């Protein structure tokens, strides 16, 4: 079982009183919490936020061995798919929906096979799930070290299970409106600044709007395949600087203002379970390509962002229903949340993100289309 990654200050927690914020926990959420033995009147908690960059750099800064569960799975996934009542591939490039399987009841073999399916299809959906936050955490630990986010409320007693509750985020100062939805309403990939960034993320939404509030994912495998062979060759082996979503003070120069945590990773990475190359950039958190002038880097990155964002044929748009789980791989995707419901209806979910390997590049690795025999020269 992988450990939970906790910041040094995480023992210092603040407990929220929803009533103090004028909030009412949604009925579906309250029922789920009570069933799991969690007191809704003391929900959620927040780990103490680190103040300085050196504190954050020191967390998980040592290399950790990582074996992707999907790499040891049965390629045919007989245990997982054989238990399903229906398997629906939502597009040719990305997204699969599984019916008749409960995530909380998966065997170890099925967990490995699910890891491989996520690695191949990028995001996998399960509706009508009965899963507690603690069970969600246990499943996340199978796929890697679970990250405890220093900026996001947590489920009490389940460090690493973060609370996605837009009403609370708005009360705490997040500004969101029709013209500027902000937050997750920009194409992004989670935790790219980590020394060993995010692998699988599991978001379970127990409360969703009647309509609207969809989430979209875009395929990094297919974004890479959209590039010309000459452009792929130019990008292969290059690295970029990736920054954190939040800023922290420099302890030695606090008057300089907050700064982002930054780390350097391959611009094109290879997934350890599939062996396929993926374009790994995102508009929100990729700062620059190493070795290029800023003007050159900006032009190339803007083009690469657009490959992800504007090619609808490599994207999937998912309509949530209450009790649905989505598990996606941050190594091979970007995602974005639609704010079209404008916060006018209740929404609540819990999320677990498992950290994976140190990103690597292999010049001999194929692209997805090459591996599947789909790469036909123009």
Per-domain residue ranges of the chain: 4-371
Q: Is 236 a catalytic residue?
A: no
Check residue 141 and give its pLDDT. Answer: 97
Q: Which of 190, 206, 225, 329 is catalytic?
A: 190
Check residue 178 and give its pLDDT. Answer: 61
Which regions in the chain score pLDDT beneath 70? 1-21, 170-185, 376-378
Taking the C-alpha atoms of residue 128 and residue 123, their distance in angstroms, rounded to an integer, is 17
Taking the C-alpha atoms of residue 176 and residue 134, their distance in angstroms, rounded to an integer, is 30
Tokens of 131: 């899963």
Q: Is 335 a catalytic residue?
A: yes
Tokens of 13: 């927690």
Tokens of 164: 């996605």
Q: Is 188 a catalytic residue?
A: yes
Check residue 254 and give its pLDDT. Answer: 82
Check residue 155 and give its pLDDT. Answer: 93
3 state DSSP class of 272 = coil
- Cα–Cα–Cα angle for 138, 141, 146, nearest 5°? 115
Check residue 165 and give its pLDDT. Answer: 86
Check residue 376 and give its pLDDT. Answer: 65
Check residue 196 and give its pLDDT. Answer: 95
Q: Is 42 a catalytic residue?
A: no
Q: Which of 271, 335, 348, 368 is catalytic?
A: 335
| Pairing of β 145-147 and β 4-5 | parallel
Q: Does domain 4-371 have CATH number 3.60.130.10?
A: yes
Asked whether 373 and 225 are in contact (CB, 8 A), the reply is no
Taking the C-alpha atoms of residue 222 and residue 314, their distance in angstroms, rounded to an integer, is 6
Alpha helices in the chain (DSSP H): 27-35, 53-58, 78-83, 108-121, 133-142, 166-171, 220-226, 229-235, 294-310, 368-371
Q: Which of 243, 283, 351, 368 is catalytic?
A: 351
Check residue 17 and give its pLDDT. Answer: 59
Dihedrals φ, ψ of 319, to 5°? -95, 120
Q: Which of 46, 188, 265, 331 is catalytic?
A: 188
Check residue 167 and give its pLDDT. Answer: 74
């Amino acid at each position: 079982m992988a450990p939970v990654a906790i910041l040094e200050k995480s023992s210092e927690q603040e407990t929220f009183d929803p009533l103090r914020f004028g909030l009412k926990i949604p009925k579906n959420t309250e029922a789920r919490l009570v069933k799991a033995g969690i007191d809704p009147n003391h929900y959620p908690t927040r780990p103490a936020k680190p103040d300085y960059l050196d504190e954050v750099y020191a967390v998980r800064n040592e290399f950790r061995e990582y074996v992707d569960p999907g790499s040891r799975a049965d390629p045919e996934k007989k245990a997982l798919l054989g238990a399903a009542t229906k398997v629906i591939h939502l597009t040719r490039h990305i997204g699969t929906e599984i019916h008749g399987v409960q995530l909380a009841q998966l065997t170890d073999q099925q967990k490995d096979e699910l890891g491989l399916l996520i690695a191949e299809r990028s995001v996998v959906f399960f509706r009508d799930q009965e899963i507690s936050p603690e069970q969600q955490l246990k499943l996340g630990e199978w796929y890697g070290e679970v990250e405890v986010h220093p900026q996001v409320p947590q489920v009490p007693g389940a460090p690493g299970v973060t609370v996605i509750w837009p009403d609370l985020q708005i009360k705490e100062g997040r500004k969101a409106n029709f013209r500027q939805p902000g937050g997750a309403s920009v194409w992004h990939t989670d935790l790219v600044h980590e020394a060993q960034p995010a692998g699988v993320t599991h978001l379970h939404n127990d409360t969703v709007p009647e309509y609207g509030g969809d989430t979209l994912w875009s395929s990094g495998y297919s974004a890479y395949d959209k590039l010309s062979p000459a452009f792929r060759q130019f990008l292969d082996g290059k690295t970029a600087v990736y920054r954190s979503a939040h800023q922290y003070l420099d302890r030695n120069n606090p008057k300089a203002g907050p700064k982002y945590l930054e780390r350097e990773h391959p611009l094109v990475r290879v997934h350890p379970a599939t062996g396929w190359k993926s374009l790994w950039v995102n508009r929100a958190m990729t700062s620059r390509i190493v070795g290029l002038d800023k003007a050159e880097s900006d032009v190339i990155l803007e083009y690469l962002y657009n490959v992800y964002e504007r090619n609808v044929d490599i994207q999937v748009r998912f309509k949530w229903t209450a009790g649905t789980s989505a598990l996606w791989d941050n190594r091979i995707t970007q995602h974005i949340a639609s704010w079209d419901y404008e916060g006018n209806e209740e929404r609540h979910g819990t999320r677990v993100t498992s950290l994976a390997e140190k990103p690597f590049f292999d010049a001999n690795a194929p692209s997805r289309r090459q591996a599947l025999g789909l790469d036909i020269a123009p």
